[in-house]
């Protein structure tokens, strides 16, 4: 029974609710979308292929278009219910006397478990979860460390089935020995700040699992530019991201998750990654990585321990009791200085450090505030650069519709990063864009070609172009790999810059032979940019 109890407790911590007076628990198994797509590989060379409806091979020597039909499609809405009937319920009912019922909705399937009035299992769950009523405020049971390895493993399996997510689009842009793209899985923890650190501690301590990173739902982490004081920044979910090759000891009972996990694992093993990426120990925080203050970092809805400013996610771990960071802090020359810098050897006086950081934060915040004011619509309309956005948007949309797809569309995205802009368009945008979280870039105008899912960028300037402007747009292109990229200025393109690019075309290349185009936009005409 010990292993089943551990599994149930993993389910409860992931997405569970306890109704104590009714001797009942309810477990939610989320499935936001009816289907779950697998990984696409190029049939010719075997490399990862990514994109929208039309995929493209990531191999720079191949770059073939790949039909989306190469992806396996998992019916997670249907499969979740089948998995509960065929795997989860039999495992539980084999050791525990209980009644079960399944209720299926559009976005989740619920398992209701009723226990008899006199039940050892129910009493055990109440004892291990003495406080709270649902996964928002449960803690990992204190006695978890005293259980045998099989029980601990089942505890993690329960977490995986409810709060564990596998997604073929969550890969990192890493080059392996035989390909590109390192797949990840993640635990998604809703609201429960303490549980995130508890899971990190537990996996690291009891199984030696390295955590690649933690994406906290803290304003400093999710709205690092300081320009978004939205209430949502204080209540978003947290994600614990791990490479599948470090999770082979565990297993999903939800079949679609298990099969997709096998795909992710097989991909990483075939590509071959030698580096063991681990957030611990933390990196020293340089001044360039400091974040501006955020209007919501002191919000009363945040837990008291994190109701302040942070520059790196590991500082939140430390504030919430990461046992490994606490050990490092205790061994450091000055624990308080370590908490602010990540430097274990620093002998800086705390007062001087805080005074210097105050100046850094003031400067960062002033820059962020100026960016926010300049991106506000009433202010933008008074700037020459803003005046170019709408005519260039219309031009790009027309250009894409005439030459690529009649349903193409273009937006002005200069006032926020592309991740946030696309996320705010509609509830489906997050599911359409692969690696959306990595598109934290800010092109002025973005177009989409629906038939291929490819992007087009415009960066607009009202000054003479130089390599700095080229480098800025090139950085955006290397991240997002658009089909087209235009650097457009109201000034004539400098002849020296043209000659330099003609001699060294790689200065404007961003893959598959694509190049940034430098154009001039004469605002006295309505013909669009010149030089296309």
Token pair 């996990």 is found at 261
- Give the domain ranges of the chain: 287-377, 380-520
3-state helix, strand, coil in the chain (%, to 5): 45, 20, 40
CATH number for the domain running over 380-520: 3.40.1350
- Token readout for 142 is 């204190």
In tens digits, the chain (532 residues) has pLDDT values of: 899 999 999 999 999 999 988 899 999 999 888 889 999 999 999 999 987 657 889 898 898 999 888 999 999 989 999 999 999 999 999 999 999 999 887 778 999 999 998 889 999 999 999 988 899 999 999 999 999 999 999 999 999 999 999 999 888 888 899 999 999 999 999 889 999 999 999 999 999 999 999 999 999 887 655 444 444 455 568 999 999 999 999 999 999 999 999 999 999 999 999 888 899 999 999 988 899 988 888 888 889 999 999 999 999 999 999 999 999 999 999 999 999 999 999 989 999 999 999 999 998 888 777 665 554 444 444 456 778 888 999 999 999 999 998 888 888 888 776 766 665 554 343 344 444 444 567 788 988 888 777 889 999 988 887 777 787 788 788 777 888 999 999 887 777 677 778 877 877 887 677 889 998 887 766 566 866 4
Q: Where does 413-483 show beta strands of DSSP type E? A: 445-449, 454-461
**pTM, two decimal places:** 0.72
Rounded CA-CA distance 45/48 in Å is 9
Residue 121 CA to residue 330 CA, distance in Å, equals: 40
Q: What torsion do the CA atoms of 257, 263, 265, 268 make, to the nearest 10 degrees?
A: -140
Beta bridge pairs of residue 406: none
Please answer whether residues 369 and 226 qualify as being in contact, where contact means their C-beta atoms are separated by less than 8 angstroms. yes
Compute CA distances 152 → 50, 128, 156, 203, 426, whole Å: 36, 14, 7, 10, 40
Asked if 163 and 198 count as a contact pair (C-beta separation under 8 A), the reply is no
């Amino acid at each position: 029974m010990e292993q089943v109890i551990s599994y149930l407790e993993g389910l409860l911590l992931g997405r569970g609710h306890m109704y104590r007076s009714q001797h009942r628990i309810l477990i939610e198994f989320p499935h936001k979308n009816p289907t779950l797509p697998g990984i696409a590989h190029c049939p010719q060379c075997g490399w990862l292929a990514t994109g929208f409806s039309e995929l493209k091979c990531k191999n720079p020597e191949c770059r073939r278009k790949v039909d989306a039909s190469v992806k396996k499609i998992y019916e997670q809405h249907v499969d979740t219910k089948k998995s509960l009937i065929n795997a989860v319920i039999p495992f539980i009912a084999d050791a525990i006397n209980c009644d079960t019922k399944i209720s299926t909705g559009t976005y989740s399937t619920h398992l209701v478990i009723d226990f008899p009035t006199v039940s050892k299992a129910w009493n055990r769950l109440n004892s291990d979860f003495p406080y709270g009523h649902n996964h928002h405020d449960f803690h990992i049971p204190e006695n978890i460390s005293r259980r045998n390895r099989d029980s601990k493993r089942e505890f993690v399996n329960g977490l995986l089935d409810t709060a564990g997510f596998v997604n073929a689009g969550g890969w990192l842009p890493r080059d392996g020995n035989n390909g590109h793209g390192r797949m990840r899985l993640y635990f998604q923890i809703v609201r429960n700040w303490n549980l995130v650190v508890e899971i990190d501690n537990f996996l690291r301590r009891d199984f030696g699992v390295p955590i690649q990173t933690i994406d906290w739902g803290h304003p400093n982490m999710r709205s690092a530019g300081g320009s978004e004081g939205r209430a949502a920044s204080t209540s978003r979910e947290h994600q614990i991201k791990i490479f599948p090759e470090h999770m082979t000891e565990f297993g999903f009972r939800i079949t679609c998750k298990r099969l997709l996990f096998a795909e992710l694992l097989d991909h990483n093993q075939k590509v071959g990654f030698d580096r063991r990426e681990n957030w611990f120990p933390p990196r020293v925080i340089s001044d360039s990585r400091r974040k501006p203050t955020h209007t919501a970092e002191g919000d009363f809805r945040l837990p008291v321990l994190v109701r302040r400013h942070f520059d790196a996610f590991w500082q939140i771990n430390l504030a919430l009791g990461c046992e490994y960071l606490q050990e490092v802090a205790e061994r450091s020359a000055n624990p308080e200085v370590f908490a602010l810098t990540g430097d274990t050897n620093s002998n800086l006086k705390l007062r001087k450090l805080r005074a210097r950081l105050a100046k850094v934060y003031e400067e960062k915040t002033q820059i962020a505030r100026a960016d926010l004011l300049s991106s506000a619509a009433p202010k933008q309309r008074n700037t020459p650069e803003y005046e170019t956005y709408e005519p260039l948007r219309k031009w790009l949309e027309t250009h894409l519709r005439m030459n690529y797809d009649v349903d193409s569309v273009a937006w002005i995205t200069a006032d926020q990063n592309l991740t946030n802009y696309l996320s705010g368009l509609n509830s489906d945008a997050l599911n359409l864009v692969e690696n959306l979280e990595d598109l934290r870039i800010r092109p002025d105008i973005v177009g989409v070609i629906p038939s291929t899912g490819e992007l087009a960028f415009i960066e607009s300037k009202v000054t003479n172009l130089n390599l700095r402007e080229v480098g800025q747009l090139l950085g955006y292109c290397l991240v997002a790999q658009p089909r087209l990229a235009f650097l457009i200025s109201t000034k004539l393109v400098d002849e020296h810059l043209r000659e330099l690019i003609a001699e060294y075309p790689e200065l404007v290349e961003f893959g598959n032979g694509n190049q940034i185009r430098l154009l001039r936009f004469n605002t006295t005409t309505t013909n669009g940019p010149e030089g296309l």
